[in-house]
C-alpha cells in the first residue's frame, strides 16, 4: 500500500500549463515537451494527432513502482470514492522520473480525451483554490493533497497493481 499526489497539466502544441495557468514550475523550469502533439496510443498512429492534451503525473514511492515494466502494468482508477463509483481507469502509465535512493517515482499518463482532461484539470484548479483559502486563513502550508491509494489488489489479468485516485 502507498499513497501519493496527483498533478494535471494541460498541453497546447507542447507547451504545458499547470492548474494555475502557469507555464513554469517552482524551480523556474518550463513545462515544455519535445513532442508537440498528443502522445496517446491513438494519436501516435493518427495522421491528425491532437494538438491539445493533458498529462497526469502521479507521484508515488519507488518501492511501489520502479521501472517501465512495472509502470506499463500499472493502471490508475480515478474517482474511486465508493465501491459502485463508475469505472474510470488510466491504462498503461509510463515513468516520468524515478529516484530509487530517495524512494519516489512519477508516473505519467497522457490523454486527449477532453472530458476526462477538463474534469481532472478542474479538480486541480479547485485544489489550488482551496489551498489558497486555507493558506490565507491559517497562513501556513497546505497539507491537503489529492491523495490516491495504491493497493496490491489484482484488478484484472493485465494490471498487477491498481492506483485509485479520489479528489
Ligand atoms: Zn491523443
The rounded distance, in Å, linking the Cα atoms of 51 and 49 is 6
CB 109 within 8 A of CB 128: no
Condensed to tens digits (0 to 9), the pLDDT of residues 15-39 reads 999 988 888 887 888 889 999 999 9
Find the 85 Cα to ligand 1 centroid distance in Å: 25
34 backbone dihedrals φ, ψ, rounded to 5°: -65, -40
- Positions in the chain short of pLDDT 50: 1, 141-142, 144-167
Find the 163 Cα to ligand 1 centroid distance in Å: 22
- CA 52 to chain CA mean position, Å: 16
Condensed to tens digits (0 to 9), the pLDDT of residues 130-145 reads 877 877 777 654 454 4
Q: Specify the pLDDT at position 4.
A: 66
Find the 50 Cα to ligand 1 centroid distance in Å: 5
Q: Specify the pLDDT at position 161.
A: 43
Q: What is the DSSP string of 134-157?
A: HHHHHSS------EEEEE----SS
Find the 134 Cα to ligand 1 centroid distance in Å: 36
- Give me the residues near ligand 1 (ion), CB cutoff below 5 Å: 38, 40, 43, 50, 112
Q: Specify the pLDDT at position 31.
A: 87
Cell 515537451 belongs to 33
Find the 133 Cα to ligand 1 centroid distance in Å: 35
Find the 112 Cα to ligand 1 centroid distance in Å: 4
Find the 35 Cα to ligand 1 centroid distance in Å: 12
Contacts of 128 (CB under 8 A, 6+ apart): 19, 20
The rounded distance, in Å, linking the Cα atoms of 104 and 95 is 11
Amino acid at each position: 500500500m502507498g499513497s501519493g499526489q496527483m498533478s494535471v497539466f494541460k498541453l497546447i502544441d507542447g507547451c504545458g500549463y499547470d492548474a494555475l495557468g502557469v507555464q513554469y514550475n517552482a524551480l523556474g523550469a518550463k513545462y515544455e515537451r519535445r513532442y508537440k502533439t498528443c502522445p496517446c496510443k491513438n494519436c501516435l498512429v493518427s495522421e491528425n494527432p491532437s494538438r491539445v492534451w493533458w498529462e497526469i503525473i502521479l507521484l508515488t514511492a519507488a518501492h511501489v513502482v520502479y521501472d517501465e515494466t512495472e509502470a506499463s502494468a500499472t493502471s490508475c482508477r480515478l474517482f474511486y470514492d465508493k465501491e459502485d463509483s463508475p469505472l474510470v481507469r488510466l491504462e498503461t502509465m509510463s515513468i516520468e522520473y524515478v529516484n530509487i535512493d530517495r524512494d519516489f517515482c512519477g508516473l505519467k499518463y497522457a490523454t486527449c480525451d477532453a472530458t476526462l482532461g477538463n474534469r481532472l484539470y478542474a479538480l486541480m484548479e479547485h485544489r489550488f483554490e482551496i489551498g489558497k483559502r486555507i493558506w490565507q486563513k491559517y497562513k501556513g502550508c497546505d497539507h491537503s493533497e489529492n491523495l490516491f491509494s495504491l493497493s496490491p489488489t489484482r484488478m484484472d489479468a493485465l494490471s498487477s497493481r491498481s492506483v485509485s485516485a479520489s479528489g
